[in-house]
Amino acid sequence: MSVFSRRILFVILAAMVLGFFTLALLRDTVGREWIKSQVTYYATYAKTADGKHPAAAMLWGEAVAQTALLKPPGSMPAFGIRQRVLDDFRFASGAQRIDRCETCHLAIGESDPALKSRDIPQPFRAHPGDYLETHPTQKFGCTICHAGQGIALKSEPAHGYVTKAGKNGSRELVEAFHHVDTPMLVGQNIEAGCIKCHQGGAMRTRNAHLVRDETPHWTQGKKLFGELGCIGCHSLNGEGGKAAPDLTEVGAKYPDQFDMRHLKGVESVQNWVYEHFKDPQAVVQADPAIDIHFPSDMPNAEQLGMSDDDVRAVTTYVMSLNGEKVFSKYVFPATPEKERTSFASTVEKGRYLFRRLGCIGCHGREGTEADQRKNWNAVGGVIPKLGNLSDRYSRAELSEFILRGSMPPKEKETLESPPLWMPTWRERGLGGQNLEAILDYLFTLKKKRKAGEESF
């Protein structure tokens, strides 16, 4: 090969190498999702002194020059990664919490009402309300409240969800990433994030008077959790039943710890909890292949008399049960709940204890005969409704039965034991005046004997 040919070949190879470097440079700048967000924000939404915005083409060139060639921004908008290192809010493992959310959410701290308008799409909208006045991102970041993967620079892994195109250019959630531990809290479930610090709910006060409950759905969910007898089967912070999973840290479970196969909506922990409350048997189905022969034994929302709003409220409460700790200087402890001590009668006290101890969780709402709870593989298949107890028990016999507890006999000996049983209430500390009050109440319950009648 002649010298001239070798020189031509060298020039061609050098051009190819330069081309590859150029493509890599463009891919690492123009191809980045966060740079596109920053260009769009500065070209359309950012506040400027004269109300005018630079042309998008000029901003793209500036973005490449600043991020690839390290050009100082000068009078132009600054492009680059915004990062918060949050030493006060480390993860349970001790790893630093690093939030880069503001790389795309550039307007998040702006106070201009125009930027808070819901007409502005995300990620270009400012944070609603005045929450950042007391929770500045410099100190708190974003993920300690909203969850998500703060270190990520692409929207899907940052939010923790696979998405698809929705209406009007929006994105709709499809499923949670199984490798992202804490997908972002969605909708009213963001209130669950407040409870890490505001342990009794985020109450806005003025001069020691309540102005507004900032976590109303959580407050309602907590109230319903107590009223519906959930504690009868589930345990929480060491108290409650053993027939169902411990809920103390259920909100911290990972997506891959749930069977999402039967969900109708988004495959996420939050939606699993919601759909499971609505229809437990549809979500947790029998699967003989892995020796699960019966669906969930939990009563559904209709049996519990829950509206859709109630279901969403309890979901918010359950998602707050995650056990995540923060430094005590940020904690507003819950006011201890006062035990009710005043009752018009022992029957009223017994009814109160019947609900508080969770008996209603299995035996159903009093006065609603149709509210019969399933107990798979128990003889009869259901938990008895409580009524006309004096026909079967003396007071002493019923007292001993309650204290001793009982495991119902199996319908089929080869299958699992019934999932629900009468606890040994003696071991759970029931006795004395409380037991006597419950007995007084139980003996007032009367069932109609005619078929089809559902009132006591």
Rg (the chain; Cα; Å): 30
pLDDT at site 321: 94
What's the predicted TM-score (pTM) here?
Answer: 0.85
Q: Residue 403 CB: number of other CB atoms within 10 A?
A: 16
pLDDT at site 377: 87
pLDDT at site 26: 62
Domain ranges of the chain: 31-71, 346-442
pLDDT at site 69: 79
pLDDT at site 433: 94
pLDDT at site 452: 46
pLDDT at site 456: 32
pLDDT at site 448: 56
Rounded to 10 deg, the angle between the 269-278 and 308-319 helix axes is 140
In angstroms, rounded to a whole number, what is the distance separating the alpha carbons of residues 192 and 20?
48
In angstroms, rounded to a whole number, what is the distance separating the alpha carbons of residues 21 and 389?
84
pLDDT at site 371: 63
- Listed in sequence order, the DSSP H helices in 177-322 are 191-194, 216-227, 269-278, 280-283, 301-304, 308-319
CATH of domain 346-442: 1.10.760
| Helices and strands, counts by H and E, the chain | 17, 8
Rounded to 10 deg, the angle between the 33-44 and 56-68 helix axes is 140
Task: Decide: helix, strand or coil at residue 249.
Answer: coil
Q: Are 403 and 424 in contact (CB under 8 A)?
A: yes
Which stretches in the chain have pLDDT values below 50? 450-456
* Residue 302: both structure tokens together: 């209709």
